[in-house]
Structure 1
Amino acid sequence: MRPVPIPDDAVWDGGVRRVIAPPGGDLTHPDIAPVDAIIDRGLGGVARVNILVQLEPGDLETLQQTGHLWLSVLGGIHPFALTAAPPANHAEEA
């Protein structure tokens, strides 16, 4: 899976599109790419960063075999939600 650009029609009311830079702020970092994100307010009004990810070739087969997803977050442990949604929908309240 990899982060992908968010289509304009997928940005919802109350959401603001931002580019999240890798650590150090280098948008040309050779190992960690910047990501397109929508920032809004989640449950309890806490800031929520929403990143769209797309399956790459072989991901679906791997998921069917193992049933496992790994979520890696740089900088520590943070509350998160992983949501499967139709293309035009956004993440549910998390």
Structure 2
Amino acid sequence: MRWTTLSVVLLAVAGCSGGGSAVPGGGPTSAVDRLLAKAPVAADLPAGSAMARIRERGELLVGGSLDAPPLSQRDPATGEPTGFDADLW
């Protein structure tokens, strides 16, 4: 019962976002975008820390395995990774 209520509330919030003030490039318009815009970002990272190296590199490298169907596996026809984990990459 609680999951149903939560689902209805989330759908209602998602449906209420945007509206007439939603202008492309005009800033965050959805509730999630507004929340993320307020999220703290580390300005001063310790020199040489893993976080500083990630910021300098400009991307977060993520590894995974391709041997856990249906989570992830290599498609034998295309050779591309498929599955839930692969979609998160």
TM-score range for the pair, normalised by the shorter chain length: under 0.3
Q: Identify which of structures 1 and 2 has the higher relative contact order when contacts are C-alpha pairs closer than 8 Å and 6+ apart.
A: 1
Q: Normalising by the residue count of structure 2, what TM-score does the alignment of the two structures yield?
A: 0.20
Q: Which has the higher helix share?
A: 2
Q: Normalising by the residue count of structure 1, what TM-score does the alignment of the two structures yield?
A: 0.19
Larger Rg: 2
